[in-house]
Each structure stands twice: as structure tokens, then as C-alpha cells.
């Protein structure tokens, strides 16, 4: 941690920021420490338009199933839309650009009508009621946001599935959630070409999806798609008949708002369940604290709505804060590596939030590309999803931010609902690559399994040792897994605390540095994938006897998939290239192209302990070309390590 430069917030930023100094930061931290419930009580009262006030801030009587703002009634769409209509009805709520260059600006008043009509359609035409699950499998078009908000309006629980997931992955999620309706689009545009989503839904629904009664299809690219009479409905036709006013369902603070499936280290993806009040409070507050969002700002987060970042920082957070949120349909490099910089220039974007993998890609493809555009509107830059390397950070800071924009490196997870550890742009002296300090009210600590705080430079478990309002409430259908996955590893003062799955260290100044996952989860281009899921997919190839997957550092993606595969037969590996292709086909079919293996090694066996546990640490070292430091003599067959090394080095 030596020789790390420190970047203080500029006077210009300090002047305008909500939190203007570390003193102000520490006083908020102290406020939360002294009176934890009082702190959240104050914020919840200040920030949320309650339909009925709550009677208690926190109920921890059934930990870790914490409840927040007990008895409070609200509707998240009132927080995101209705309450802005007095002051901001003609303000742009969403600015959208399609990849081909088509544009839409949706004002808050228009958003109100769109969401209300959509909500009426769900209610009247499809009989969707409070608590029903609706799967949203959509491209990045404004209707994706309308669909989410329409569900929230009537109290239905949405489960957005990333459009890059395969039919099988989509089916698993539909079945687990027992969804009644699937909302999709014919397709969209990507890399200059139309692609289709509806056919994927057709395949997903071809078996096991009895819960699904209807499919609502939004027309985006008017490509030819097949139509199942009696099941499929045309959104663009039906929406015309609906009225633009729908009474918001009165929701309890703790009613579920949405499910979002994410990978764990074992088994199938988990349906992370979020609630209403706590989630929206934190989504809005972090928009204000971390992005320091102002009335006139144009804010752009480049994530996809299929991930938590898209939920909290494209849809719910910005809208709750009354901001203008941008949405873009396509890839960053179409038609060239200047696309995003051109958009920042054209829309005068003030906050820009993206992933390190995209920064690395754009850096590689166009070192000086940002200079061709006027990016002076930018005030704050952000990153999320994985640690950012110094090279990418410096380029982002100098070339994109013109050396004047603080970079907020936000550490958080699907489960946390919103930012947990992040610099505050007007306060925190930033060290590139560090997420710096926990936000006020968030007790993020690096500890051992007994709760002892780690010394500087000692790696430990990154835990959140007090509950927080936007935390995961449970895993859908699997409360035991919820308890085991998050509260089964670390304790503090004898009580189980939330363990994130990440390792981290403090430096001498108390800055937090995330070291990466401590479990068998890998992070590819900022997307979380369980090695167990990829292994299960590879296992579906008829010739595969067993396999093990590890992550290998990758220049652009952060990590890539390296698969070690043992074949069943002795036919030999006549055509490695062909087999590798086939293996990637099964991965694409089961999960989606994002989980494809960059490298596949066909090996005679896997390094296992005598009890049969695969030693992934050895495989990780081999994949990286590192020396094996572990003792291999305890393996069932120590000679296998040498054989694997030879194959990989070949
Ligand atoms: O390992 C951490 C990494 O992404 C994981 C969470 O993934 P997901 O739930 O898909 O959410 C991604 C977007 C919030 C974490 O456990 N991660 C996220 N942000 C950072 C990070 N690693 C380092 N630095 C970050 N800023």
C-alpha cells in the first residue's frame, strides 16, 4: 500500500456537495453510532412520503430476519413519481437513447401516465395482484423501467432477468419464483444488429412453467417472432386502452418489492428478496450522498436493469431523488469507442457511473478518444462491480474526468441493495483502488470469524455488523439458505453478523481495500457467477466425467473462466478446439454467453483430497501459471498436479 497517491476533493466540489468535509462525514458516523435507530428514524422521516407512519424503527426480535419501519405504509412509485409532480412534472425523468441513435425523453408527468397505464394493464387484463410475481426479461428500453414501476404500483413482485441469460437460466428463475406473467420484448439492438428476446422466452416456457399464464410483448425492433395465441399479448396494442391513473396499492414497509437472482458459491441462483421502505430510503439517500445529485443534473449509469445496479441506480434511486436518469440500449463500442463520450457531451452528463471492465475496454480501444469530445459537464465519476486497477483509474480520472472529478469507487452487492462503502465526493480524500470508508449508518468491518477487528494489512472477512434498511430480507423460498449463506460464517459479540463473501484489508489509514471473493464465486466483467453453476453446465456435455472451474485474471474482464475438464472416455481428445466449442455451447445454453470459458484444459484427473474435495486453490495457481505453494502430498493422487501443469503449459 505504499506510494499510493491521494486525491483530495477540489474546492469546487466541496462548495456544492451535500457532505462537504470529513468532519461532516464523521459527525454522521457518530450520530449513527450513538443512536442507531434514532439516526435511521430521522432519515426515514425526512426522506419518505409515508402514507401511514411507522410505529417502530427496527425489529430485531427474529434476527437475522430483520424488519424495518414497522407498520409504515407507502408506495415506492409515489416516492419515485407522484410526489415529484408538483415541482417537477415537466422535468425529464428518463432520457433514453437506442443504439441506432433514436431518442426519447420521458418527463415525470409522462412517466406517471406510462406507469399508471401499465399498472392498469397488469391489473385489469392479466389479473395481477399484490404479491404475484412478474418476470421481466427485457432489453434496455424505457418500458423495462415502466414495467418495474408498474409492478411496484400495484404491489406485484418483479423479478428482472438479465437479457443475456439463456432460456434455461430464465426458466429456472421463472419456476423458482412461480411467476404468473412474463414481460418481454420482441428484441432490441446490439452491436449494430437486431437481436431477439421473445424466442428465448418461448423456449423457456416450453416446459415446467405452468405458473405462467401470459406473456406481454413490447415491440422494439419489429422483427418476426412467433406468436402463441391465448398466451401472448401485444403491449403496444393493449396499452392504448388503459387509463392513465391507477391508485397506488398501499404497501407495508416490509412487503417484498422485488426478487433478483444472483449466484452463490453452491447450487442454483438465489432469489434475493428486497423490501419496500428500507430499500427506497437507501436508494434515494445514496443518490444524494454518493452522487451528490442536484436538481439540474443529468445522471447516467451504464448498467443493465437486469442487475442490481440497474435497479437501484438507473430506476429506483434516481427517480426517488427526482433526478434525470439516462438509459442507453446498446454496447459502448458501437459504432466506435467514442459512443459513450459522445453521449456525455451531447446530453451534458454530470454524473457518470460504470464498471471497471468497461473502462478498461474503452481505454484499450481508444486511449485518446475522450479528448475528441467536450466532457466538461462531468462532475462526479463512479465505478462498481469489481476492484479498479490503478491504470484504468488514472485514465478514467485524467482523460474522462479531466483530472477534476472525484471517482466514487462504490462497494456493494445485490444483497445490500445500495452502496455500502464508498468515497463521498465532497469529503473523502481518495486513494485509487480503495472503496475508502463505510457510508454513515453502515457498520462495515473487516474481522475474523469471531468478530475481532483485523490489523492493518491483514486480510479478513468483510462483514456488516449491524442490520441496515436496504439489506436482503431473505432468499425467496429458502430462508435456511439465507441464514446459512450470510449469517453462518462470522460472529461479533457472540451474535451472527452478515458476511459479504468478500475479503478485504485495512491500510494504515483505515482505508478499505477489497481483495475479492473468498468463496467459489467469480466476477466476470463485473458479473457474479458461481463456479458450481458453470461446472453443472459443463457436466451436461455427454463426454464430460467431471470438471472444475476457476477464475483467472483477465486484462479487460477482470476475471475469465478457466475450466479443467476430465473426459469420460479414452477416445482421446481428437479435436480439442471442437470439444472446447461444444463445451462453450452447453454453457451458453444453460447460463448464457457471459459464462463462457476462455480456456479449457482437458486433464486426466483433478487434484482432490482423500475425502474427494477438489483443491481449487491448486487449480487457480496452475491457471495463473504460478508456482504451487500448497502441500500436494496429501492429495489422493499427487502426480496429477504435474500432469495438469504439463498440459496447461503446452
Ligand atoms: O466481490 C464484490 C464485487 O461484486 C460483488 C457483488 O456482485 P453483485 O451482487 O453482482 O453486485 C455488483 C454490483 C453492486 C461483491 O461481493 N464488487 C462490487 N463492487 C465492488 C466490488 N469489488 C471491488 N470493488 C467494488 N467497488
Domain boundaries of the chain, sorted by first residue = 520-649
Q: Which helix (H) or strand (E) holds 381?
A: strand 380-384
Q: Is the CB of 79 under 6 A from ligand 1?
A: no
- Please tell me the least confidently modeled range out of 35-44, 398-407, 474-483, 620-629: 620-629
332 lines ligand 1 (CB under 6 A): no
Q: Ligand 1: does its nearest atom lie under 6 Å from the Cβ of 514?
A: yes
CATH of domain 520-649: 3.30.300.30
Say whether pLDDT at 572 is over 80.
no
416 lines ligand 1 (CB under 6 A): no
CA of 279 to the centre of ligand 1 (A): 18
What are the residues facing 517 on neighbouring strands?
Answer: 502
pLDDT for residue 1 = 65
**94 — alpha (psi -120 to 50), left (phi > 0) or beta?**
beta
435 lines ligand 1 (CB under 6 A): yes
Q: Indicate whether residue 385 lines ligand 1 (CB < 6 A).
A: yes
Of 160, 137, 440, residue with least CA distance to 312: 160
- 416 alpha carbon – ligand 1 mean position (Å): 10
Tell me how many degrees the CA angle 16-21-27 measures, rounded to the nearest 5.
120
Q: What is the predicted pLDDT for the residue at 574?
A: 72
Contact status, residue 289 vs residue 276, Cβ threshold 8 Å? no
Dist. CA 1–CA 432, nearest whole Å: 11
Q: How confident is the model at residue 22 (pLDDT cuts 50, 70, 90)?
A: very high
> Quick check: CB of 304 below 6 Å from ligand 1?
no
Does the structure show a pLDDT above 90 at 228?
yes
Ligand 1 within 6 A of CB of 502: yes
Residues 6+ apart with CB under 8 A from 545: 566, 567, 568
On the question of pLDDT at 397 being above 70, the answer is yes
- Please tell me the predicted confidence (pLDDT) of residue 632: 87
Atom of ligand 1 nearest to the CA of 303: 13
Task: Count CB neighbours of 15 within 10 A.
Answer: 10
Instruction: State how far the Cα of 393 lies from the Cα of 362, in Å rounded to an integer.
Output: 12
Element (H, E) at 521: strand 521-524
CA of 270 to the centre of ligand 1 (A): 16
Confirm if 354 and 317 have CB atoms less than 8 A apart.
no
Which residue among 528, 530, 558, 594 is best mutated to probe the pocket of ligand 1, counting the most ligand atoms within 8 A of its Cβ?
A: 528
- Give the chain's mean pLDDT: 96
Q: What angle do CA 159, 165, 169 make, to 5 degrees?
A: 75
Looking at residue 2, what is its pLDDT? 64
In the predicted structure, residue 121 carries a pLDDT above the cut 70: yes
Which atom of ligand 1 lies nearest, measured to the CA of 414?
9
> How buried is 254 (Cβ within 10 angstroms: 0-12 exposed, 13-18 middle, 19+ buried)?
buried
**Local confidence band at 116 (pLDDT 50, 70, 90 cut-offs):** very high
Distance, CA of 54 to CA of 210 (rounded, Å): 39
pLDDT of 289 = 98
Q: Whose CA is nearest to atom 21 of ligand 1?
A: 386
Residue 517, phi then psi, degrees to nearest 5: -70, 145
Query: Is the pLDDT assigned to residue 78 strictly greater than 90?
Result: yes
Rounded CA separation 451/498 (Å): 11
Q: Is the CB of 309 under 6 A from ligand 1?
A: yes
- Return the best residue to mutate from 258, 413, 437, 472 for the ligand 1 pocket (most ligand atoms within 8 A of CB): 413
- Chain centre distance of CA 599: 26
Cell of 72: 409504515
Point out which residues pair with 135 in neighbouring strands: 159, 182
Residue among 385, 419, 505, 524 whose CB has most ligand 1 atoms within 8 A, to mutate: 385
Which residues lie across from 353 on neighbouring strands?
301, 382
Evaluate whether 615 touches 630 at the Cβ level (below 8 Å). yes
- Confidence class for position 270, pLDDT limits 50, 70, 90: very high
For residues 187-191, average pLDDT: 97
**CA–CA distance, 392 with 407 (Å, rounded to integer):** 12
524 exposed, middle or buried (CB, 10 Å; 0-12, 13-18, 19+)? Answer: buried
Task: State pLDDT tens for residues 574-601.
Answer: 788 999 999 999 999 999 999 999 999 9
Structure confidence at residue 350 (pLDDT): 98
226, 202 contact by CB (below 8 A):
yes
CA distance 588 to 565: 17
Q: With both helix axes pointing from N to C terminus, report the angle between 36-47 and 277-289 in degrees, rounded to the nearest 10.
A: 80
3-class DSSP state of 217 = strand
Ligand 1: does its nearest atom lie under 6 Å from the Cβ of 434?
no
pLDDT confidence tier of residue 570, bands split at 50, 70 and 90: low
| CA angle at 527 for the pair 522 and 529, rounded to the nearest 5° | 40
Mean pLDDT of 223-245: 97
Using a 6 Å cutoff on CB, does residue 413 contact ligand 1?
yes
501 lines ligand 1 (CB under 6 A): yes
pLDDT at 480: 97
What distance in angstroms lies between residue 523's CA and the mean position of ligand 1's atoms? Answer: 8
For atom 13 of ligand 1, the residue with the nearest CA is: 385
Task: Put residue 347 in one of left, alpha, beta given phi > 0 → left and psi -120 to 50 → alpha.
Answer: alpha
3-class DSSP assignment, residue 493: coil
**Alpha carbon of 31 to ligand 1 centroid (Å):** 27
- pLDDT number for residue 266: 80
Mean pLDDT of 284-298: 98
Q: What is the pLDDT of residues 126-166, one digit of tens each?
A: 999 999 999 999 999 999 999 999 999 999 999 999 999 99
Q: How far apart are CA 482 and CA 480, in angstroms?
A: 5
C-alpha distances in angstroms, 67 versus 64, 177, 260, 419? Answer: 9, 22, 19, 19
CB of 386 within 6 A of ligand 1: the answer is yes
Q: Report the pLDDT value the prediction gives residue 571, as an integer from 0 to 100.
A: 66
Closest residue by Cα to atom 26, ligand 1, is: 411
Q: What percent of the chain has pLDDT over 90?
A: 95
What's the pTM?
A: 0.97
Amino acid at each position: 500500500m505504499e506510494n499510493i497517491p491521494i486525491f483530495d476533493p477540489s474546492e469546487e466540489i466541496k462548495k456544492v456537495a451535500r457532505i462537504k468535509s470529513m468532519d461532516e462525514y464523521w459527525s454522521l458516523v457518530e450520530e449513527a453510532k450513538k443512536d442507531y435507530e434514532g439516526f435511521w428514524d430521522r432519515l426515514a422521516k425526512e426522506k419518505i412520503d409515508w402514507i401511514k407512519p411507522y410505529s417502530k424503527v427496527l425489529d430485531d426480535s427474529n434476527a437475522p430476519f430483520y424488519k424495518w419501519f414497522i407498520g409504515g405504509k407507502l408506495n415506492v412509485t409515489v416516492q419515485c413519481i407522484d410526489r415529484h409532480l408538483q415541482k417537477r412534472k415537466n422535468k425529464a425523468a428518463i432520457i433514453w437513447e437506442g443504439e441506432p441513435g433514436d431518442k426519447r425523453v420521458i418527463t415525470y408527468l409522462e412517466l406517471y401516465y406510462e406507469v399508471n397505464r401499465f399498472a392498469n394493464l397488469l391489473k385489469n387484463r392479466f389479473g395481477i395482484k399484490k404479491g404475484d410475481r412478474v418476470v421481466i426479461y427485457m432489453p434496455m428500453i424505457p418500458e423495462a423501467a415502466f414495467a418495474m414501476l408498474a409492478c411496484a404500483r400495484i404491489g406485484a413482485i418483479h423479478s428482472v432477468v438479465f437479457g443475456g441469460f439463456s432460456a434455461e437460466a430464465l426458466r429456472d428463475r421463472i419456476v423458482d419464483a412461480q411467476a404468473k406473467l412474463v414481460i418481454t420484448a420482441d428484441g432490441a439492438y446490439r452491436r449494430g444488429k437486431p437481436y431477439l428476446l421473445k424466442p428465448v422466452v418461448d423456449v423457456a416456457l416450453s416446459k415446467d412453467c405452468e405458473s405462467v399464464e401470459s406473456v406481454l410483448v413490447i415491440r422494439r425492433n419489429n422483427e418476426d417472432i412467433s406468436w402463441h395465441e391465448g398466451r401472448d399479448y401485444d403491449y403496444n396494442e393493449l396499452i392504448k386502452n388503459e387509463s392513465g391513473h391507477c391508485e397506488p396499492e398501499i404497501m407495508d414497509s416490509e412487503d417484498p418489492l422485488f426478487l433478483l437472482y444472483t449466484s452463490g458459491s453452491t447450487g442454483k441462483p438465489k432469489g434475493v428478496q428486497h423490501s419496500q421502505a428500507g430499500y427506497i430510503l437507501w436508494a434515494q439517500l445514496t443518490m444524494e450522498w454518493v452522487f451528490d445529485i442536484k436538481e439540474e443534473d443529468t445522471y447516467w449509469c451504464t448498467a443493465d436493469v437486469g442487475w442490481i445496479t440497474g435497479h437501484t441506480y438507473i430506476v429506483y434511486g434516481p427517480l426517488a431523488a427526482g433526478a434525470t436518469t439516462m438509459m442507453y440500449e446498446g454496447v459502448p463500442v458501437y459504432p466506435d469507442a467514442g459512443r459513450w463520450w459522445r453521449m456525455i457531451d451531447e446530453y451534458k452528463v454530470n454524473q457518470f457511473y460504470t464498471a471497471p471492465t468497461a473502462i478498461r475496454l474503452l481505454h484499450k480501444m481508444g486511449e485518446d478518444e475522450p479528448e475528441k469530445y467536450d466532457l466538461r459537464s462531468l462532475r462526479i465519476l463512479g465505478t462498481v462491480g469489481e476492484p479498479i486497477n490503478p491504470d484504468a483509474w488514472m485514465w478514467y480520472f485524467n482523460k474522462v474526468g479531466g483530472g477534476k472529478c472525484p471517482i466514487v469507487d462504490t462497494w456493494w452487492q445485490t444483497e445490500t441493495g445500495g452502496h455500502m462503502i464508498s468515497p463521498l465526493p465532497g469529503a473523502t480524500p481518495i486513494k485509487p483502488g480503495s472503496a475508502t470508508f463505510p457510508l454513515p449508518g453502515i457498520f462495515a468491518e473487516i474481522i475474523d470469524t469471531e468478530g475481532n477487528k483485523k490489523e492493518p494489512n491483514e486480510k479478513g472477512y468483510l462483514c456488516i455488523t449491524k442490520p441496515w434498511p436496504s439489506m436482503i430480507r431473505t432468499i425467496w423460498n429458502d430462508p435456511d439458505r439465507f441464514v446459512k449463506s450470510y449469517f453462518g460464517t462470522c460472529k461479533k459479540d457472540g451474535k451472527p453478523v452478515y458476511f459479504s463473501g468478500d475479503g478485504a484489508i485495512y491500510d494504515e489509514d483505515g482505508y478499505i481495500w477489497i481483495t475479492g471473493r473468498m468463496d467459489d464465486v467469480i466476477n466476470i466483467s463485473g458479473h457474479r457467477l458461481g463456479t458450481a453453476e458453470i461446472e453443472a453446465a459443463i457436466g451436461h456435455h455427454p463426454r464430460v466425467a467431471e470438471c472444475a472451474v476457476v477464475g483467472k485474471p483477465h486484462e479487460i474482464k477482470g476475471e475469465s473462466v478457466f475450466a479443467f475438464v476430465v473426459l469420460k472416455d479414452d477416445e482421446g481428445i481428437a479435436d480439442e478446439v471442437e470439444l472446447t466449442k461444444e463445451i462453450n455451447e452447453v454453457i451458453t445454453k444453460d447460463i448464457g454467453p457471459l459464462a463462457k470459458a476462455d480456456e479449457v484444459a482437458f486433464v486426466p484427473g483433478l487434484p482432490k483430497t482423500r475425502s474427494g474435495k477438489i483443491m481449487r486453490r491448486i487449480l487457480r495457481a496452475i491457471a495463473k501459471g504460478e508456482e504451487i505453494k500448497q502441500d500436494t502430498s496429501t492429495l489422493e493422487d499427487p502426480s496429477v498436479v504435474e500432469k495438469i501443469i504439463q498440459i496447461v503449459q503446452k
